[in-house]
Amino acid sequence: MSRFDELGITSPRWWRRIAAIVGTSLALVAATGVPAHAGSVTLYDDLEAPDAPYVWTNEQGACCYVVFIPGEYHAHSGTQAGVVPNVQSTAPSAWTSLGRSVHLPGALGTSTTCNASIWVYPFGAPRLNLEVINPTDWTYISLSTVTLTNYSDWQQVSLPRWTPFTSDVIFRVSNRAYEANYSSAMIDDLRIVCTTTRV
């Protein structure tokens, strides 16, 4: 029997808990004047949709690095993952990428913050930029740069939280490992959560 079932509504402990919760809620209202409410909306892309190879594009805007992953190197979930290939140049400015357009799942303004994360499987030692980009001027809204260890299994990588002032953004993973041309990565399971606090 669960603990909630053990503490039925006739239990004195149950009534003490209700009184404590009500008291805390009243204290919050008294302190702030009105209660604060937070609501979260999530965008989740597991790269399994039939159009995933066209939704996700590379740095030239072409298709397509979303592929079926067979055998030992499996997708994080499902059977498809994105591939951010190795850089075919030793120039410091060289890079490859895989990204998609995103319509953020929440309200705009100072009462909302968003965070993004994606699962990454490294080959070699890729130096990755995880980027949220404003498509109107191609400036970074949020950016995280990571260097991963060879074959270190799937790991979730997050970007810094940001306040959205535009609903449409680009989420992109760029491989900057020009000094190690055989460094690449698989990516899977993008999650963007936007939380709005209302007073």
Domain residue ranges of the chain, discontinuous segments joined by +:
3-32, 37-198
Query: What is the rounded CA–CA span in Å between residue 181 and residue 90?
Result: 7
Cis? peptide before 64, omega within 30° of 0: yes
Q: What is the pLDDT of residues 101-111, one digit of tens each?
A: 999 977 788 89
Cα–Cα distances (Å) from 29 to 68, 75, 108, in that order, read 53, 47, 25
Please tell me the CATH code under which domain 37-198 is placed.
Answer: 2.60.120.260
Q: What is the pLDDT of residues 144-194, one digit of tens each?
A: 999 888 878 899 999 999 999 999 999 999 998 765 557 889 999 999 999
Residue that has been written with the tokens 């299994």 in this structure: 153
**Inter-residue contact 197 to 179 (CB < 8 Å):** no
Strand partners, 123: 184
- Residue 195 in this model has a pLDDT that exceeds 60: yes
> What is the model's pLDDT at position 88?
73
Q: Which of 160, 159, 158, 149 is nearest to 185 (CA)?
A: 149
The model's pTM: 0.76
